[in-house]
Amino acid sequence: MDVGPKKSNFLVERIREMAEPLCQAENFELVHLEYVSFNREKIVRFFLDKPGGITLEDCACISRQLGDLIDVYIEEIGKYRLEVSSPGPNRPLKKKEDFLRFKGRRVKIQTTELIENKKKFTGILEIINDDSVVIAVDGKKVEIKDHAISKAILAGQ
């Protein structure tokens, strides 16, 4: 049985509501959460971060706690595999706070609309406004409205 988008979104929100307080109590940031089906296996993936980075021990500790919470409170999930990891060098930027935190870093941004005849940009995150960000691409400043960003990630080192 495949995980339908409606059921998947519902379960992700239920899991997020249950996991967020635990992550905050353990001083972790819940960067991203997904529920996917791969080769007939259901997978719940948590990407967590904290100041100074996340360790393997952090992943193991929070994995046990999250697994217990899901097993107790999300009965309709059935059999699943739980994966907990750091977001890695290509960390997604989703919230305004993410953009503020990583100002001055190299980012990749994809847009939903053409901006200067392009939809993909790689540059240095320079300015974060209320409704847009400005990145320096090859010495030129490009302003991208928040509503036009479909995906934004750190571009690694």
CA distances from 59 to 16, 80, 142 (A): 17, 17, 37
CB 138 within 8 A of CB 147: no
- pLDDT by residue for the chain (157 residues), tens only, comes to 344 556 678 889 999 999 999 999 999 999 999 998 888 889 999 999 998 889 999 999 999 999 999 999 888 888 999 999 998 888 899 889 899 999 999 999 999 999 999 999 999 999 999 999 999 999 899 999 999 999 999 997 5
Residues 101, 139 within the same domain: yes
Task: Assess whether 15 and 68 both reside in one domain.
Answer: yes
Domain extent for 137: 96-154
Based on the domain organization, do 13 and 67 belong to the same domain?
Answer: yes
Max Cα–Cα distance, the chain, nearest Å? 53
Q: Which of 98, 100, 112, 92 is nearest to 155 (CA)?
A: 92
CA distances from 31 to 4, 87, 116, 138 (A): 23, 7, 30, 29
